[in-house]
Structures are given as C-alpha cells and as structure tokens.
Chains A and B, each alone.
Chain A
Amino acid sequence: MLEIRNLTKIYEDGTKALDNVSFSVPDGEFLVVIGLSGSGKSTLLRCINRLIDPTDGEIIWNGEDLAKLQGEDLRKARRKIGMVFQHFNLVERSTVLTNLLTGRLGYAKTWPTMLHRFSKADRDKAWATLARMGIEDQAHKLARELSGGQQQRVGISRALMQDPELMLADEPVASLDPVLAHSILQHLENLNKEDELTIICSLHYLDLVQRYSTSVIGLREGHLVYQGTKKEIQKMTDDEFKTIYGEEAVRISDTSLEGSVGEVVEE
C-alpha cells in the first residue's frame, strides 16, 4: 500500500508542480496518472522514488515515509522501486546486458561493480529477464543500436532486475507507435497480473487508459482533479475525459492512421 499525503513540490524557480496531492494505491493496482503536459505527472512519479525531493507531504510505503529517507536507507528503498522512462534513459553506449545489470547495483557490493563484476546469480537473472522480455539475442548489442520498442523492453528489464515491488512508468509509450505501445503496456500488464507488481503509470490516450488501468487519477496544474475506479473509467465518454484532461485528449486509434502519435501531447 502506497499512501501519498499532502504532497507538494515547489521547484527552485517557484513553479508549484504539485499542490497538496493525496491519494493511495493498494498493492497490485495498475494506477494510471493522466493529465496535460506540465500538469505534474513526472514530478509526482519522481517524488515517489525521490529523484526529486518533495517540498512537503508524506509518501508512506510499507509503513515507511519515503519523503524522509536519506543516504543508505533511501538507496535501499529505491531498490524496490523500478522506474521506466519515456525516453528509455538507457546508457546508450553500454551493452544491453550491462544496462540490465545496472538494475542490480543497489544490491551488489560497490567495489566489484567498479570493475563491472557481478555475481553469477545476477548474470543468470539478467539472462532470464532478457528471455522473458524476448530480447535475448540483443544482449551484446549496444543499447543505442536497438529500436525504440526494444529499448523500452530493456528499460523494463532493467527495472525488473531490481526485484521491484512497485513500478513507476513515466509515459513509457509516448515515444512509441501504437502497436509498440500496446506491446509494452501488455508487458506491464503481465507484470501487474502475474507478479502482482504495483504499477503507477502516466498515459495520454483514453483507450489505453481504459484498456490497462485498474484505477485512474487525474492531475491538472499540480492539483488532483479526478479519481476513478476501473468501472468509472470504462463508462467515461470522450467528452468527460476531455473535461478532466483538456481539449487535446485523443484516442490513440484516432491518431494512429496519421502516424503522428508522439506529437499529440508534446513533452
């Protein structure tokens, strides 16, 4: 159970990216965060694993306030939270295998990793994960040599290497075409269903939201403006969606024919 209480983030330049946001995510949930570009989705996700320090509020996870953690404790907590990024954020000049093993850094001893030494168990786990994501044959390629869809699978694999209990996915499919988007989200859905991994994922398209989410929250200018269950979101019409979301909201199926998916909501 993840519980966000009164979370506020004000950036150094004064931008109030999150304003008193509270919600909770039961274990095993596939929570989708929707909202316009600039509404604070990335900020919210980055606050949870403390890539960004929140200005105020609590992030209670397994009885611990993540917002207060420092140093070693923070790193220990981060190990259990995987993260997937819109632009994959792979180390492009490293191999796929190395990118996966990076996911084990939090568990490994520091000095062996300085020499790129990982335990046999870690290596086996990497190969198993690659096999699970169907990219075994790419293991020794440089990450930048892969296609977008493959790169995102590496991104998910890296997060899986952490043995996460929570997965944060910040617009994981916004840089991909619709077919790939479904394929990546299906991977996440599998993890959610089979591994009972809690997932918090920001998405843009109503049909993707309806298809994959088990619950939804909506952000607008840093405020929490919508909270809905799967049922509620299923019944939602485009017009309702737009009132929460903004005029730009579209279904991915509307845009796929024009091939301009990535530009619908610009990041």
Chain B
Amino acid sequence: MKAKKDRVYKEEPSLPSLVPAWLAALLSAIIPGLGQSLGRAIKRGIIIFGSFASLVGLLIWRFRIAAPRDTGIVDIVLKAFRLQPVFIVIAVFFGLMYIWNIVDAYQVSKAAGKPDKRKPVIVFALILIVFFLIGWQIGKIDLYGFVTQFDDSFPILKQVLWPWEKAISYPTEEVIGTAELGYPCTDSPPPQSEPREEKPYLIADPTCGTPTLEEVGKNPETDEWERMVTPGTVIHVEGFNFDPDQEVEIWWRDSAGRFYIHRDLETDTNLKVMPDEDGYFEVDLVWPFPIGDTIRTNVQGVAEWQLQGKQISRIGTWEISEELELAFVLMIETIFIGMMATFFGVILSVPVSFLAARNLMSANAFTLGIYYFVRFILNVIRSIEPLIWAILAIIIVGLGPFAGILALTVHSIAALGKLYSEAIESIDPGPIEAVQATGANWFQIVMFGVVPQIIPPFVSFTIYRWDINIRMSTIIGIVGGGGIGYILVQWIRNWKYQEAGIAVWFIAITVAVLDYVSAEIRERFV
C-alpha cells in the first residue's frame, strides 16, 4: 500500500504555475521544455529540453552527411528526404514530438498546484521513437539489403559452413600424353603415337599440316597492305588413358621448344577437356600460330611440333591438408593460451581477492583503504577489454601467444579477484565460530571452517573463467596475440573462405565441448 503511494509521480506538487497555461505553451514552442519548467515541472522541462537539443544536434549532423554538397536548409532537407526516406519518418515524429511538447507544457502548467498530475508518458515515448529512428539511420540499418545480399553471399557462406573439402588434400603429379606433328607435310609425316599401357597418350589426325599463319601483304583486291591470317590445319585429337573426371589442358610445343597453352578462341579461356570414365576424350583443334619467328627444322626441312595433354592427377590416397593441420595446431595453441592465462590468473588473484574482501579488510582504516584501492584497480582493469590488453602486451613482448597469455592473465586477475573476494565475503561466520569452539587452532579453523566454504565457489568461478579465457583466446589472435584467431583473419582477408570455415568449425567445436565440460564440472563441485 505504502510502496504504491510512493510511486505516484510527484514534482513540487503544491506550487501553482509561474505562467498562465497559454504562455507556457508558447514558451515551449520557442524553447522546448521551458513551459514545463515554469509550470513547476522543472525536471521534466530539463529532460525535454536536453532531448530536443541533442536530437536537433544529431539531426543537423545526419542531414548534412546525407546531403553534403547542398546549401540551404530546404535543399538539404529535400535532398535527404529523397535519398533516404527514413528521414521523412524521422521528421514526422520529430514534428509530433514538438507539437506534443507544446501540448504538454499547456497541460502541465494548467495542472500545476493540483494534486493529480499528468505523467509525461507520451512526450517521452515520442522522444524515444525519434532517438530510435535516428539510431536506425546512423546504424545504416538495411533490412532489405540484409535479405537480398544474403542470397548473393550464400555461396561464400556455404564455403564457410561446409569447408571440409579443404580438410583433405591429395598428393598430385603431372601426367602428360603427347602426339608428334610436322610442318609442312612430306611423304613421311610423323608417325602416330604408340598406344601405351596405363599411361596417357594422344592420337592426332592428321599428324602433319600447317600452323595458323599470319602475313602482312597486299590485298590484291583493295591493293592495300593488310594483316592476313590463314587458319591452321584442324587436327582431330583423341586422348587415351587419362584420369577420368580430371580436367586436361592442351599445350603446344613449337619447333623452337616454346610451350603455349591452347586457347579456346570463342570463350577466350584456356581450353580444358574432361575425359570420360574410361579416360578418353576427343577434340578438334586449330593449329595455332607460332609466337616469334624462330622456326627450327630438321634435316628434312620439317618443323617438329608436339601436342601435349597435361593433367594434374592425384596419386595415392588422401592426406590431411596443410590448412587443417595448421588450424588444429593453432587450436591447441589457443586452448593452452587460455589455460595458462587461467592458471596464472588463479594464482595471482587468490592473494588479491583477500585484499578485496571487505569482511577481512574492515579491521581498521588502513586496511579498509587498501580494500578500496584494490577494488578500484580491479574495476579499472576489468573494464578494459582483453583485446586492448593484448595490444598493450604486444607492444611489450611482441606478437605471439605470450602476449595473449599476458593479456588474458591481467584480465583474469581482475575478474577472478572480484569473484573470489565476493565468495570470501559471503562466508558464513557460524561454522567458523563452531570450529573455533571445539578448541581447534588457527590452521584447523581455516582448513575446516573456511576452506570448505570457499572451495566450491572458487572452483566454479575458476572453471567459468577458464571457459571465458579459451573463448577469448580464440579471438585474441586477431590483434596478434597468438592462437587460431590470427590465421582466421588472414584467411578471411585472402578470400580463403573454406579454410576460414575450418577455423570457425574448430572454434565452435572447442567452445561447445568446453561449455558442456565446464557446466558439468561446476555442477559436480557446487
């Protein structure tokens, strides 16, 4: 009953308004909140004024950013409306807020001096809405983009979510099948390749002909100098004994020993042919032109060319990919960073926690001073994120896991120091008194009265912290503090999304396992 009464809105209830209601409304129209203040609702007036002032400031800033090249209020506003319709909504609500502020001023000063006052619900609701809308605009919240781009990013997301193709790799070997060609054709063109067992080879038909030739000469019709291209012989190529389902690249070796890959002129890409399940393919190729002028000929005056089918083929069975191994090794490093930080954190925070426990430190002014000092330091350390501590640690000890350990240790000392000290503060003096009454000495009192009371919360907090430290150590690498985070960002920056996906999976699995284990242990102990 009493508590309810206290909650009724009161603000200097008995005094009448300093100005008539209409004047209050007018004043609030000029300076929002002024009417309310004079209507004896000073706090309400100040809050309304503060809200208006900051909202106007924010709006000027956002409108200017939205239309940076325009001058003149009207131009800026119209441009902003056009570019970002959310500004229209903001403006509407701002207007409503302004009008309601005037109404509110009128009502407040009218009701001043009377017992029952109006609560400022509507005007504050409107202020909140405008803040919310500006936040929407500042935050560049774009649900439409979120939904549409989600589709586009799906292939990448898929790589991240299911990265396991990159988890294994195969040792590879380049296998080549060849066929000999001669230019020009003579009575004895190069023989067909001998069929080989198991090993790939090419059969070309014909085995002689002319490369694509390019000449600059006079066009007899137009009598002008032109570049004239004579397409080379079309050679039908059959490949045998290639690895099924592995792309084959076609290469040419000219008489001077230069290699070039066959380009598919239609798509302007390197030609790749796919053998069938028997390792067979066939393709028609136009003999390309040699690059450069050097033509070497053999004694018969024939330039010897060679056609090559190259395939990168898997040999042997799969093995763990380098990336998987790296992710695994770094995950272990990560776990140990978290573990070592927890270890040092526990050792150092236990003594600190005694200094930060009020029940132990309130003996005199000096110890109480230490208590406040330690508490203050702990709060400051705790309020600085481990990532920032890592950056500081890197300055001192350089990149690597030690920096991460230092950073997490510092943060752990502060966090655990506080939790431990609270556990100490909540010790029940009753059992201690009882142990003392049995004639036990100091050591026995501590061992039997104090330790059983603080061990369970200490263990619980320690495991909780261990859990947090390992989570933290997964990202501390982002700034260079060692562990898997480092390689994760590297991979993301290099668009290696599958590799990054492996790291993400490792982190997720580790954290999930840890979560379960720590919950389980804590349940046992407490």
Contacts and interface: CB of A to CB of B under 8 A. Distances in A.
B443 A102 contact: no
B20 to A, nearest CB: 58
B88 interface: no
Given A91-B452, A105-B448, A162 B431 contact: no
A8 to B, nearest CB: 22
B453 A93 contact: yes
Interface residues of B, number: 21
Contacts of B431: 89-92
Interface in B432-446: 433-441, 443-444
Nearest to B456: A93
**Most-contacted residue by chain A among B434, B436, B441, B444 (CB, 10 A):** B434
Nearest to A83: B437
A85 B435 CA distance: 12
A79 B430 CA distance: 18
Contacts of B447: 113-114
A20 interface: no
B55 to A, nearest CB: 54
A113 B447 CA distance: 9
Contacts of A103: 438
Contact of B435 (A76, A88, A102, A161): A102
Contacts of A98: 448, 452
Interface residues of A, number: 34
A262 interface: no
Interface string B402-439: 00000000000000000000000000101101111111
A51 interface: yes
A76 B441 CA distance: 10
B433 to A, nearest CB: 6
A24 B448 CA distance: 34
Nearest to A105: B440
A93 B438 contact: no
B449 interface: yes
Contacts of A110: 441, 443-444
Contact of B439 (A78, A89, A92): A78
Contacts of A81: 437
Nearest to B444: A105
A92 B426 CA distance: 14
- Most chain A beta carbons < 10 A, residue from B430, B435, B437, B443: B437
Interface string A247-267: 000000000000000000000
Given A113-B444, A114-B443, A114-B447, A87 B438 contact: no
A104 B441 CA distance: 12
A149 interface: no
Given A91-B449, A93-B452, A102-B448, A78 B430 contact: no
Given A91-B431, A91-B435, A91-B448, A75 B440 contact: yes
A162 B439 contact: yes
A106 interface: yes
B176 to A, nearest CB: 75
A75 B453 contact: no
Contacts of A75: 439-441
Contact of B434 (A76, A79, A83, A107): A83
A158 B434 contact: yes
Contacts of A91: 431, 434-435, 448-449, 452-453
Interface of A: 49, 51, 75-79, 81-83, 85, 87-94, 98, 102-107, 110, 113-114, 155, 158-159, 161-162
Given A79-B439, A89-B433, A94-B452, 8 more contacts: A75-B441, A81-B437, A87-B430, A89-B434, A105-B440, A106-B439, A113-B447, A158-B438
6 nearest CB pairs, A to B:
A106-B439, A79-B439, A105-B440, A89-B430, A89-B434, A78-B439
